[in-house]
Structure 1
Amino acid sequence: MNRIKAYKQFACLLMALVFTQLRAVAQLNNEAAVQQLLKLLSGRMHLSVQQYSGTNLVNEQQFKQNQLQSNGANWQLKIQTTKVSGAPEAIDVTASFMLENGSATSTAVSASFDFSHWSRDNYVLVPASIYNGNRYPAIGYGYNPPYPTEMYYNPKVPLTISNNPRLAIEKGKTSRIELQSTSTATPAMCFYSPSAKKGFIVLTGQQTAFGNNGLSIAENATQDSCNFSITAPAMRKQAAGFGDYHASGDKAPDWKSGDALNLSFRVYVFQANSIPDLLTKFMTIRKAFTGPNHPRNQLPMSKELELARAICSNNFITVPAGSYYTPENGKDFQLGWVSGMINTYPMLAMNNEKERNRVVAELDFVMDKLQGKSGYFYGGITAKGEIRSEEMNAAYPEIQTMVRKNGDVLLWLMKHLMLFKAQGYGHMIKPAWENGARKLAAAFTQTWKRDGEFGQFIAPETGKIAIYNSTAGAIVPAGLAIASAYFKQPEWLAVAKASANFYYNRDVVKQGLTGGACGDISMDSDSETAFGFMESLMALYYYTGDKSWLSKAEVQAALCASWTISYDPVFPANSQIGQLKCNMAGAVWASIQNKHAAPGVCTSSADYLFKLFRATGNSLYADLIRDIQHAGAEAVNVPPHHITTNNLPGSSMERIQPSDAEGKGSIGNFINTRNSWTETDGMLMALELPGIYLQTDKKKLYVFDHITAKLVKQDANGVVLELKNETIHDAQVSIFAESSAAAIKPLGYNNFIKWPKANVKAGETIKVKIGKKNQLSPLPVS
């Protein structure tokens, strides 16, 4: 009996050994698929357990097989890989960590990707945080650092950023970037290798049960190897702020026997011949891991327009400087950038005599008080009439202004002139307005011919570039293209094309970034130049019909997407956003210095994304602008059911904060104030984006507004749509219907005034018929 018992025990041990070996073999087979993919980039994945003292790593042990012993604790690892349907270049990975027995204090787990044969020439991207590795000279310690004297009037000044996380610009120096998943628009790390002609992207989720994930990139001193890591939870020594750093407060959890955690991610290694290839690949897959987001229909565009217009109308003032709609919370005037002479456009579009006359008064004021001798405009003026300077150094005391603001002036002034004519009020256009536009277009042309760029800051008296070498003039080609057609000046179109090609090749193709347009940053990468350059590329497509501009616009749209939140972040449950259950996919990050997202594109409807969707048929562009519009609506203060700013009904402000850049207490909380530009954005999106887009012959229907719609009938007499408004607000929904043949023609700037509108009351379902000539008629609901 003892012998039989011994045999049974031996058999059990043997079986356990066999199962252990089989499990190890299966694990190796699972892991082999990932390692084989990474091998294409001389990469290798390893998984580890990390022990911390505070935020200092004191011990890291890698799993060699599926088990690990550390400080008396036994760990088990299971790796599960899955092929991604339709994407042979991608693999889904779930690493399951379990503490079988024992305990582990202050411990995190990590999935790392080690790349040998690394080069500092590789382009590194973390969406909305790191562009080209942020491998540029950095200045200052804090928000909006002043430029040193040597940067002024220096054509050779390098692209210079604020004190942000970055890879070392110096050779022979190690560097480490530590981020939290919520410091990105998409939790992802990417790079492009020019030598291997391949791209790498790893996507993960925001968090596990232990909190937000960490993303880190570490480069060795010889800069020939680099490590990309996902850590659960994030374990940063310092958290990056607005050009500075503070203690992160990150804490690794204590594990007890039986505790487990799944860390999931998706790895891509793919053929790429350029930075644009990486960008366009990223756009197509940025939601692939986190899945579709869920925009809420709660504030119809027409209601947002009504509320924001009321605020703007009540903020028209007459002061010693002149008469204008205040673009800020005070009475001083700021031109361009954050609404000055932009918020006039939706007021002019009202086609209302009172507001039209006010717009006339503001245009008179701008032309009279703000244009310098060179043709460039000053950026602002106090209510008392004192010109405001925007960049100044003791060695160069002359007043300087943002090139971006002057780009805004040219674009929006031309749009105003065209809208006056489209509405039948061309006779109200004053020679001074047209002369002001001519002088500005001529000034940009002269600067281009002299300097081969537009610069970042310029002196309006002399026309000389004060600060060179950014993409701050990204929107200028759009203004020049419109002005060229309006004034019949072909030279301006030539400069528009040449400058757009210059910025595209120097900044987008070679560096994978655009930057320097925000008035409170250095030359940091920012979303405003990315979207502004989209405006220029689509303007050139419209005025030339050349599809090469469309191709460039598709790359630029991918860069824009990298700034836009692609999923619905989880906010603290007790935060304002958490309590309101806002879905913030579509919020647009500001810049690598100003680490927050905002409700909209500063300052634009981003209708060029709709134009790109219409021209290409690619719904990713429609999805992007719909997300932006819906995130914008989530931030609007609509008492009593949706309190955000605690300010005026219809007000909004520029902070949607998923990160701890401003401290943990700021996460998910709005600020009790308002920003005119975000309200202007809401008005512009309500005007320049259709509520519904329909291609009648292809039955292609896309809904941007906060309603649902479906095509219920189509015959020789037209199309019948059923519209349902599930919000608590009445909606007036604009409908843009056309044939696919008509969609081939590029879309201009005033089409929105022709779109018919359907009135759908709160909670109502209606049917409307769209006739052959795009006339709209209501039908009874059966």
Structure 2
Amino acid sequence: MKAYLLLFAIVVYHNLTVNVIAQTNQPSAIHIGAVFKQYNYEKYNQVTHTNELSFTAREPQKIGTSNWQVQLKATPLQHALHTTEYVATFICVAGSLNSASVGITLNVTNWQASNYVLMPASVYNGNRYAWRRLRYSPKLHDIKDIGPDKPIIINDVPKLSDSTDISYLQERSGSMSTPAVGYMNEQQQQGVWLLTEQSNQQGDIGISIAENRTKTSATISLTSPVVRELYTYTITNAHTPSWDMPAHFKAGDSITFRFRIYHFNAPDIQYLFNTFSTIRKEVVTDTTVRNVLPFSEVFATIEQKMNRYNFVPEHGYYAVGMRENFLQDWQIGWTGGMISTYPLLFNGDSITQQQVIRNFNWLFPKGISPSGFYWDAGQKGTEWFGGDIRNTHTKNWHLIRKSGDAVWYIIKQFMLMEQKGITVQTHWKNGNKRVCDAFVQLWNKHRQLGQFIHSETGDVIVGGSTSGAIVPAALTLAAKYYNEPKYLQVAQAIARYYYETFTRKGITNGGPGDALQAFDSESSYALVESYTTLYEHTKDSFWLQAAQDAAHQFATWVVSYNYRYNDTTAFAKLKIATIGGVYANIQNKHSAPGICTASGIALLKLYRYTNNPFFLQLLFDIAHNTPQYLPHPHNKVPNTPTGWVTERINMTDWEGPQSIGYVLPLSTWAETSLMLTHAEIPGIYVDIAQQKAVAFDNVLVQYLRKNKRQIQLTITNPTPCDATIKVLVDANKQADLQELALLKAVHLTVKTKATQTFTIEIPASTVSK
């Protein structure tokens, strides 16, 4: 990265200006000012007065019937990037100011409409895409919008305009995985990140971006309290009347903003993501984790729940949920189905394993549609559906990622059965291979996988997405399992298309089936899995770089800190630590326990290939903090039965003004995610080369190298349950960590509240080849 020649601050009459001059670029300027706004609450927070103040004024400034002292302290930091930390203080020294907010404005004077704007987990490329306002669960219905080659269409979410319309978006700090705004000026090849604290004396901070008519300048604002003008966002509707309550300030009140601005060279969009990965925890620094329940207890609890509530004995399959509707009865992938059977087969008892085998016998061959793909959904054990039957025109719309998920996890289960001595029936193999062939045919015909395909014909109905992001991984594994080279060839072609069309542009979208083509974490992680799997099987360095790029993009969906909930909320009382939660998508604005629906194992593989500790830490944050969301006799969750794991970690009010930190008592896919964690993520990972041990499980570990052939681990179990911990001793990172690695893991048991030291032999290799 090029070095900057000069960073200096100039104090001018109305604001503070920070000019950044690069070696080869034109200067970019951010002018920092103070702003006071008053609102008419009865008119949905219509702005009635706006006052801008200078941070250079020494005397108190009069605002309405009040006087204010404003100060801004700028501190250049010793940092790898050109970084300045700011602390702005607003003090009401006399009088009062009703129905108001105070704020910081960052006026960017060399703005361009082509700037890539990123607000982690909320805004990607400014969300400047065609949009429709369709109620949940939205599906395109206008014939002009439906087709394989239509542009990306998202729902009515906070966004900047892609046309001449008013371009203004409003968010609150909790709406992002990290409270931050970043942008990249492609023409000048410069990038900027603004990171702020999540909250101050007035709670969450408002974060907004407004462009001028010509999109040649923009204002990024931080406000306290959060007051969204006229409108706020609720699910699928960015035009819900604002319910925010302005503050009534009086003499003695003070408000403080602490934020940092980072400037860096950015030859391409990926630099924006890579830089974010290095700084995401630098401003909001509460990253404390909790030890609540061990992985072994988590799995045992969910296994019992799955066998009691989800298994349908008269037909022999594991339902997705409580069967309250067809989507909670059977879906082949995305939220359960043949994903859930994998960890149940991996770790379940003999009864569970027999029920998984029944599930395979039930699925094949009836579970495959005329197109050659799996049926999308079903109910009552005998009814199969091609798509969403709630709308006539979508009854045969198959979400392509569902068949991708199924192929990926079914082949893993075939491999696992063979390791466990279970016969893999020929008609199971042939049925799954038929789906692999359907993917090849789909790619050869359309040169994309689309988002929805027709369950009868196999043709793309809705294109333009990365919904099938897991398919390259699935076909790569299929190439090995079926000894079919064409699968690997097609896998690489699909993955190249995804990289050039989406990853290089900093977007992944259309993974879930309930959010139009919203940018999402699910397909973002699936690309990490696919690129990593391709590198694992081809050793082509292109895929290793692609996997790292995708992982840094995925990191923007992962919560980097612990949100401060109001003391009255359920999550505050439960002492929930939000770090490691994974935001769903830009429409469904909640974080969740784990990845939908995966373990995150590709991040461990990436760490082994690169020795970059960022990937290991990212996986730790995700995996370690999932058990706290499991209702259990030792971890009571209000109104929620034991074993039911909600997907909702609400840090913003997208479901209503009282929805932040509430408990939605549902049984969801998050249960499968927790089971996958126990199946694929070691409770303790020992890196012999780095002489360290990482406890992904809810235990504490100390590492000691005893001699060339032995290590000592001292393990403390602070949880209220006995823990059986899978320990993966990695003595050879040159070998691939392929599927089923934890079958070779050492199992150690530590009693509740106990500490025990173990001596473990270092094997020559602990991984599959």
- Work out whether the TM-score is over 0.5: yes
Q: Which amino acid aligns with 1:44?
A: H
CA distance in 1, matches of 2:269, 2:111: 16
2:165 pairs with 158, 163, 173, which one?
173
C-alpha change, 1:274 and 1:645, in structure 2 (3 Å) is: farther
Q: Which amino acid aligns with 1:229?
A: S
The aligned counterpart of 2:485 is: 490
Residues 645 and 653 of structure 1 are in contact (CA less than 8 Å); yes or no, is this contact kept in structure 2?
A: no
CA distance in 1, matches of 2:489, 2:292: 45
Matching of residues 406-417 of structure 1 within 5 Å: 406-417=403-414
Report whether the alignment pairs 1:226 with 2:229.
no
Q: Which SS does the other structure have where 2:347 is aligned?
A: coil
Q: Which SS does the other structure have where 1:390 is aligned?
A: coil
1:692-715 CA-partner distances (Å, limit 9, x unpaired): 111224312222111111123421
Residues 15 and 33 of structure 2 are in contact (CA less than 8 Å); yes or no, is this contact kept in structure 1?
A: no
The aligned counterpart of 1:235 is: 227
CA distance in 2, matches of 1:41, 1:367: 61
The aligned counterpart of 2:364 is: 367
Matching of residues 371-390 of structure 1 within 5 Å: 371-383=368-380, 385-390=382-387
1:276-313 CA-partner distances (Å, limit 9, x unpaired): 11011111111111114011111111111111111122
C-alpha change, 1:181 and 1:318, in structure 2 (3 Å) is: closer
Residues 131 and 154 of structure 2 are in contact (CA less than 8 Å); yes or no, is this contact kept in structure 1?
A: yes
Report whether the alignment pairs 1:752 with 2:745.
no
Matching of residues 271-282 of structure 1 within 5 Å: 271-282=265-276
1:630 pairs with 619, 624, 632, which one?
624
Report whether the alignment pairs 1:558 with 2:548.
no
Q: Which SS does the other structure have where 1:767 is aligned?
A: strand
Residues 588 and 598 of structure 1 are in contact (CA less than 8 Å); yes or no, is this contact kept in structure 2?
A: yes
Report whether the alignment pairs 1:481 with 2:476.
yes
Report whether the alignment pairs 1:662 with 2:646.
no
C-alpha change, 1:656 and 1:759, in structure 2 (3 Å) is: same
CA distance in 1, matches of 2:395, 2:578: 43
Matching of residues 102-117 of structure 1 within 5 Å: 102-117=95-110
The aligned counterpart of 1:458 is: 453
Residues 16 and 32 of structure 2 are in contact (CA less than 8 Å); yes or no, is this contact kept in structure 1?
A: no
Q: Which amino acid aligns with 1:720?
A: Q
Q: Which SS does the other structure have where 2:733 is aligned?
A: helix
CA distance in 2, matches of 1:659, 1:325: 33
C-alpha change, 1:535 and 1:30, in structure 2 (3 Å) is: farther
The aligned counterpart of 2:425 is: 430
1:98 pairs with 63, 88, 91, which one?
91
Q: Which amino acid aligns with 2:679?
A: L
Deviation at 1:254, TM superposition (A): 2.0
The aligned counterpart of 2:206 is: 214
1:416-459 CA-partner distances (Å, limit 9, x unpaired): 1111122233xx11111111222111111111111111011111
My pick for the range that moved more, 748-757 or 379-388, is 379-388
C-alpha change, 1:720 and 1:608, in structure 2 (3 Å) is: same
Seq. identity, %: 30
The aligned counterpart of 1:6 is: none
CA distance in 2, matches of 1:725, 1:585: 21
Report whether the alignment pairs 1:266 with 2:256.
no
The aligned counterpart of 1:572 is: 566
- Structure 2 length as normaliser, TM-score? 0.92
Residues 732 and 759 of structure 1 are in contact (CA less than 8 Å); yes or no, is this contact kept in structure 2?
A: yes
C-alpha change, 1:318 and 1:662, in structure 2 (3 Å) is: closer
My pick for the range that moved more, 470-479 or 544-553, is 544-553
C-alpha change, 1:93 and 1:366, in structure 2 (3 Å) is: same
The aligned counterpart of 2:3 is: none
The aligned counterpart of 1:43 is: 30
The aligned counterpart of 1:251 is: 245
Residues 645 and 671 of structure 1 are in contact (CA less than 8 Å); yes or no, is this contact kept in structure 2?
A: no
Deviation at 1:144, TM superposition (A): 2.4
Q: Which SS does the other structure have where 1:240 is aligned?
A: strand
- Structure 1 length as normaliser, TM-score? 0.91
Structure 1 unaligned spans of 5+: 1-24, 777-782
CA distance in 2, matches of 1:394, 1:685: 35
1:189 pairs with 164, 181, 187, which one?
181
Deviation at 1:157, TM superposition (A): 1.0
1:346 pairs with 343, 347, 354, which one?
343
Residues 145 and 521 of structure 1 are in contact (CA less than 8 Å); yes or no, is this contact kept in structure 2?
A: yes
Deviation at 1:32, TM superposition (A): 5.9
The aligned counterpart of 1:728 is: 720
Report whether the alignment pairs 1:761 with 2:731.
no
1:508-552 CA-partner distances (Å, limit 9, x unpaired): 212x11111112110011111111111111111111122321211
Deviation at 1:318, TM superposition (A): 4.4
Residues 392 and 400 of structure 1 are in contact (CA less than 8 Å); yes or no, is this contact kept in structure 2?
A: no
1:439 pairs with 434, 438, 444, which one?
434
Residues 371 and 460 of structure 1 are in contact (CA less than 8 Å); yes or no, is this contact kept in structure 2?
A: no
1:130-151 CA-partner distances (Å, limit 9, x unpaired): 1111111111243222312425
Q: Which SS does the other structure have where 2:28 is aligned?
A: coil
Q: Larger radius of gyration, structure 1 or 2?
A: 1
2:702 pairs with 710, 722, 726, which one?
710
Q: CA RMSD in A?
A: 2.3
Q: Which amino acid aligns with 1:382?
A: Q
CA distance in 2, matches of 1:636, 1:29: 56
Residues 398 and 459 of structure 1 are in contact (CA less than 8 Å); yes or no, is this contact kept in structure 2?
A: no
Deviation at 1:350, TM superposition (A): 2.9
